[in-house]
Amino acid sequence: MSLTLYEHPVSPYARKVKIVLYEKGIPFERVYVAPMTIKEGDATFGEFSASSPRLEVPCLVDDEFRCFDSTIIVDYIDDKWPERPMLPPGARDRARARMVEEIADTVLDAINWGLMEIRFFRRVEKGPKAEEMQRRAGLQLAAAWDRLESDLEGRPWFSGGAFGRADAAVIVHVAASALYGFTPLERHGRLREWAARCAAVESVQRDQGDLAAFVGGEGMRSMRSGPLRRQYRDHRLEWMMKTGGLDVVLRGLEEGTIHFVAWP
Ligand SMILES: N[C@@H](CCC(=O)N[C@@H](CS)C(=O)NCC(=O)O)C(=O)O
């Protein structure tokens, strides 16, 4: 058996999949892909583009089977290796966990991604406009956390009685928001306690170790060197448009530092 995950240690989607693989104890090979800079001719391009038509990480190659999209990948992993399931029993609890995962993948992702565009990639010059966009991001996060707070009522994990896929999806975002200075508020007591529980989970710690190794190494420096062409898509694009960054999108498209996926 050969299982390979094409991933980027900063990608919340890749991190969700890795935490699930670690949690289940499934051995796999990690192949680092920088989707912002990869091009035809690069060593990993052939297999990566064959597996992920939108050229997004993560994608999984299981022998000759190729699979893209973190949610579908986690479904596949849970179907193929059902021991230590990533969803709780019971139709409603399963639907609830899936909704939390969806909120993480769409709402939390878009806000954190926007913060990264502003704070790390400096898409918006430091100053009042950047500050206003970050203020709005903070309000959006607080509203999303209100919803998550209610999802934790009566259960220790978003995935029910045990840590699972919904927890993996959310914790990477709660941790990323904290790096930008946004942490759950006083009124989010359950969420704060849940985050502390997550910090003690071994699979979460392993993923954080992967991230720390990347941030301290050459990979992160290459992300900072030169203007990167970034893909703007669905919720991320919507976030930028609705949070005051219409001009960011137009300028990036004009300069060629923002692109949409070419396929199909
Ligand atoms: N729906 C996909 C989204 C994956 C995604 O957007 N990945 C980002 C990295 S976080 C990517 O590869 N973007 C390509 C780019 O920036 O060029 C999933 O759940 O896996």
The answer to pTM > 0.75 is yes
pLDDT confidence of residue 218? 84
Dump pLDDT digits (tens) for 11-22.
Answer: 999 999 999 999
Tokens of 149: 């707070």
User: Which is the closest atom of ligand 1 to the Cα of 57?
Assistant: 12
pLDDT confidence of residue 69? 98
pLDDT confidence of residue 227? 62
Q: Are residues 142 and 185 in contact, defined by beta-carbon separation less than 8 angstroms?
A: yes
Instruction: Look at residue 56 and give its three-state secondary structure.
Output: coil
Query: Measured in angstroms, how far is the CA atom of residue 54 from the centroid of ligand 1?
Result: 8
**Residue 121 above 80 pLDDT?**
yes
Cα distances from 104 to residues 182, 198, 254, in angstroms, run 15, 15, 31
Q: Cβ < 6 Å from ligand 1: which residues?
A: 11, 13, 35-36, 56-58, 69-71, 105, 230-231
Query: Measured in angstroms, how far is the CA atom of residue 7 from the centroid of ligand 1?
Result: 10
Specify the residue with its C-alpha closest to ligand 1, atom 18.
69
Specify the residue with its C-alpha closest to ligand 1, atom 5.
56
Domains with residue ranges and CATH for the chain: 3-80 (3.40.30.10)
Q: For the beta carbon of residue 224, count every other beta carbon within 10 angstroms.
A: 9
Specify the residue with its C-alpha closest to ligand 1, atom 2.
69
**Residue 225 above 70 pLDDT?**
no
Residues 146-173, mean pLDDT to the nearest whole number: 98
